[in-house]
Structure 1
Amino acid sequence: MKKQPEITMQTRKNLADAFWQIYCEKRIEKITVKDITTKAGYNRSTFYEYFTDVYDVLEQIESSVLPDIEKHKKIVPNKYMQFPLKHLVEVYSKNKEYFIVLLGKNGDPAFQEKMKNTYKDLVRPLLQSYESDEYILEYGLEYGMSAIIGMITYCFTREEHPDIERMVRLLDNFMNDGILKNFILIKKTGQTSD
């Protein structure tokens, strides 16, 4: 007898939610299948219908909060070479509770790299039309994505209610004008170029 899709989805969600609650408090190597099934109220065999192990649960959660490349291909830098900052912040805002943990000090060190690579793949096609030197292209993507993700992570893990609009303007200024130019402007005028 086949299970109804709604029940299957809810069971998977309950197990993933139980894992997440534990993961927010414990490092993954300390989490057991028994911890998850006890918290979720299921037996071990039910867990293994949906996941291979605790790392599979984490992988599926991470995949669910990263943007789908095919779906987001239209979100690319504009003709002025600006990165899709607002889109990136929207993705962060929507999944804030996950990003704070995954990118935090006890999170998955590989997640930041996965996120960077996802956005590099999204932005690379447009930048290739401007830059034929692969070395410059790849280093530029690494620099840009590292800076953007680092600054957004810093903002979301330091502030309860971050001023997202201000941060996006500042990121945009840093990406387009450079950091030093903005510091000099602040020193002269007392305000950023936003």
Structure 2
Amino acid sequence: MNKQPEITMQTRKNLIDAFWQIYCEKRIEKITIKDITTKAGYNRGTFYEYFIDIYDVLEQIEASILPDLEKHKVIMIDTNAQLPLKHLIEVYSRNKKYFVILLGKNGDPAFHEKLKNVYKALLRPRLQSLSSDDFILECTLECAVSALIGVMTYCFTQEEDPDIPKMVQFLENLINGGYNKIVNLIF
């Protein structure tokens, strides 16, 4: 018997939503399939029609919210300017409920690395001209991307609706020389 696609999509969404509600309160190691299916109102068999295990649910959520690398590359080429921070912050804002948890203290460290890798891939072509030394390039990318993700995570966890223009301005100032001032203050 073929299931109707809209029912199939809704069932999958209900299971994901149930998982997410639990994940917001518990570390993944503490979540059981029974927790998810009870909350969603399905049985274990239904869960296994859509997912391999609990980690598969998390993986599918993460894959769905990671910024689309190809789309961002086109935007960066089209803008022909600095990193389009406002666009990246809008992506973050659209998926705020996931990013705040996944990048938070009980989140998934692997997601942080996946997100950093996406942003590094976007920035690498622009920064390669700054240094022919791969070590310097990779350290620069690590610093820039960590700052970008750190500031966005901080702002979105401190306020329900952070001031996006103010955040973009801060990050642009940081990128355009503010970082040197911070380094000089520290060292």
- Partners of 2:73 and 2:5 in 1: CA distance: 30
Residue identity in the other structure for 2:140: G
1:4 positional shift: 2.0
Q: Does 1:53 align with 2:80?
A: no
Residues 1:64 and 2:83 aligned together: no
Paired residue for 1:18? 18
Question: 1:67-106, aligned counterparts within 5 Å?
Answer: 67-76=67-76, 79=80, 82-106=82-106
User: How far does residue 130 in structure 1 lie from its aligned partner after superposition?
Assistant: 5.2
Partners of 1:94 and 1:46 in 2: CA distance? 29
Shift of 1:96: 0.8
Separation in structure 1 between the aligned mates of residue 174 and residue 87 of structure 2, nearest angstrom: 17
Q: Quote how far apart the aligned CAs of 1:25 are.
A: 0.9
Aligned counterparts of 2:170 and 2:180: Cα–Cα separation in 1? 12
With 156-165 and 144-153 compared, the bigger mean Cα shift is at 156-165
Structure 1 unaligned blocks of 5 or more: 185-194
Q: Find the counterpart in structure 1 of residue 43 from structure 2.
A: 43
Q: Residue type matched to 2:142 in 1? A: E
Q: Once the two structures are aligned, what percentage of the paired residues are identical?
A: 71
The separation in 1 between residues aligned to 2:179 and 2:126, in whole angstroms, is: 24
Q: Say if 1:137 and 1:47 are closer, same or farther in 2 by CA, change over 3 A.
A: same
Counterpart residue identity of residue 168, structure 2: V
Does the Cα contact within 8 Å between 1:76 and 1:123 map onto a contact in 2? Answer: no
Superimposed CA distance per residue, residues 28-79 of structure 1 (whole angstroms, 9 cap, x where no aligned partner): 1110001001111111011011111111101111111111212322132755
- Which residue of structure 2 lines up, in the alignment, with residue 168 of structure 1? 168
RMSD, aligned α-carbons: 2.1
Q: TM-score, normalization: structure 2?
A: 0.89
What residue identity is the alignment partner of 1:166? K
TM-score, structure 1 normalization? 0.86
Matched letter for residue 101 of structure 1: I
Q: How many residues align?
A: 183
Runs of 4+ in 1 over 4 A off after TM superposition: 77-80
Change (3 A) 1:143 1:180: closer
Structure 1: distance between partners of 2:161 and 2:129: 38
Q: CA deviation at 1:84?
A: 2.7
